[in-house]
Amino acid sequence: MDSSTSPPTAPQLCFENVSGSCVKSPYSPGARVVLYAVFGFGAVLAVFGNLLVMISILHFKRLHSPTNFLIASLACADFLVGVTVMPFSMVRSVESCWYFGENFCIFHSCCDVAFCFSSLFHLSFISIDRYVAVTDPLVYPTKFTVSVSGMCISLSWVLPLVYSGAVFYTGANDDGLEEVVSALKCVGACQVIANQNWVLTDVLSFFIPTLIMIILYTNIFLVARQQAKKIENMGSQAESSSESYKSRVARRERKAAKILGITVIAFMISWLPYSIDSLIDTYMGFITPAYINEICCWFAYYNSAMNPLIYALFYPWFRKAIKVIVSGQVLKDNSANMNLFSEQM
């Protein structure tokens, strides 16, 4: 027997002294550092970026509008993804183990689905808001009031929370997959197994609102193009004061619609790979490698960190609000009445 031959290395376990522990699949130290840095940056950006959005809109009175309240509530959903979902998913993804207990696994999964669907609902209502604002800007203030915005916000929270709670706390997601769940069950795992009915409902709940948003924003940009041509044709003619005001309002609403349209596109791009992967995985017998699923998950999670970057890039008032908040001027008396708009739109 060759004495140089070393015995096979025992597999690493998530919990060395616990019977039925999951097998750990560790990354190299260098890869772990990189992954923690990438995932941690996303979580920090989601938390502090969306916190700045919420503070900006809720503190400065000039930003109090039905649309901005929806944006602040959307930021709250993304903020909660950064607080309750991303840090724990980061540890699970890098360490390939779940160290936080079975009960918190259910709560974590429930929050994951609820807050992500809440973001989708918020974006859907924002697209309706922008459609009304662009197609009928003068009547819009009487149609989409603060109370209507509050109703939309309530629905965007209540429906996803009830849906996710009903699914995960009743075990409806894995009905009919008892053998698969039993085979994958071990101490240190937090893997959501979904049956075909649940995944189909989940995917349709994503694609139907997304399709509605695409249709609305397509109509918005068609109307915006017509308005731009009309304003251009009127440029050489003397405008009445009412027509001039209408042009300014229409221009402002078009700009807001374009920025929020970018937000919707970013959401769709971020969540499309995960939705397609979930559909393929469920109907093809869970053939997707674990690392593909992790990549799709984090691609989706990172959407919660993207919106503040979009606002910072396109909204001058948000950049000014950040400076005021970070510099501490927000603590001064009467700072809530500060004008964050450098020019009239």
What would the pLDDT profile of 328-344 be if each residue is shown by its tens digit? 888 887 888 888 876 44
Highest-scoring range by mean pLDDT, 7-21, 202-216, 246-260: 202-216
**In the numeric block, which tokens belong to residue 204?**
């349709």
**Is residue 250 predicted with pLDDT exceeding 60?**
no
Give the confidence band of 114 by pLDDT, cuts at 50, 70, 90: very high
Question: Pick from 78, 69, 82, 150: which is nearest to 118 by CA?
Answer: 78
Is the pLDDT higher at 325 or at 196? 325
**In the numeric block, which tokens belong to residue 302?**
């990172």
**Cα separation, 82 vs 61, whole angstroms:** 27
**Is residue 30 predicted with pLDDT exceeding 80?**
yes
Longest dimension (CA), the chain: 100
pLDDT of the residue at 345: 39
**Is residue 5 predicted with pLDDT exceeding 60?**
no
* Amino acid code (one letter) for 175: D
Residue 43 lies in a domain: yes
Give the confidence band of 41 by pLDDT, cuts at 50, 70, 90: very high
Residue 84 lies in a domain: yes
**Cα separation, 136 vs 2, whole angstroms:** 85
**In the numeric block, which tokens belong to residue 246?**
């209408």
Number of domains in the chain: 1
Helix, strand or coil for residue 23?
strand
**Cα separation, 156 vs 15, whole angstroms:** 39
**Is residue 298 predicted with pLDDT exceeding 60?**
yes
pLDDT of the residue at 281: 75
**Is residue 121 predicted with pLDDT exceeding 50?**
yes
**Cα separation, 120 vs 164, whole angstroms:** 14
pLDDT per position as a tens digit, 54-97: 999 999 988 898 989 999 999 999 999 999 999 999 999 998 88
- Which range marks the domain in which residue 95 is found? 29-233+242-335
- Sequence-separated (6 or more) residues with CB below 8 Å from residue 337: 61, 62
Check which CATH number belongs to the domain holding 50 and give it: 1.20.1070.10
Q: State the average pLDDT over residues 237-265.
A: 62
Highest-scoring range by mean pLDDT, 61-70, 152-161, 203-212: 152-161
Helix, strand or coil for residue 97?
coil
**Cα separation, 137 vs 249, whole angstroms:** 7
Residue 341 lies in a domain: no
What region does 191 belong to: left with phi over 0, alpha with psi -120 to 50, or beta?
A: beta
Residue 16 lies in a domain: no
**Among the ranges given (51-55, 107-111, 127-131, 222-226), the one the predictor scored with the smallest mean pLDDT:** 222-226
Residue 194 lies in a domain: yes
**In the numeric block, which tokens belong to residue 40?**
């941690």
Q: State the average pLDDT over residues 295-318.
A: 85
pLDDT of the residue at 42: 93
**Is residue 195 predicted with pLDDT exceeding 90?**
no
Instruction: Name the average pLDDT for the chain.
Output: 81
Question: pTM of the entire structure?
Answer: 0.84
Residue 12 lies in a domain: no
Residue 18 lies in a domain: no
**Cα separation, 68 vs 59, whole angstroms:** 12
Residue corresponding to tokens 């308005």: 227
**Is residue 10 predicted with pLDDT exceeding 80?**
no
Q: What is the dihedral of CA 316, 230, 67, 303, to 10 degrees?
A: -70
**Is residue 308 predicted with pLDDT exceeding 50?**
yes
Q: Percent of the chain scored above 90 by pLDDT?
A: 23
pLDDT of the residue at 179: 67
**Is residue 1 predicted with pLDDT exceeding 50?**
no
Give the confidence band of 235 by pLDDT, cuts at 50, 70, 90: low
Instruction: Return the sign of the alpha-carbon dihedral for residues 89, 94, 99, 102.
Output: positive
Residue 75 lies in a domain: yes
pLDDT per position as a tens digit, 169-194: 887 666 666 666 676 678 888 877 77
**Among the ranges given (82-91, 226-235, 312-321), the one the predictor scored with the smallest mean pLDDT:** 226-235
Helices (H), 96-195: 102-135, 140-143, 146-168, 178-184
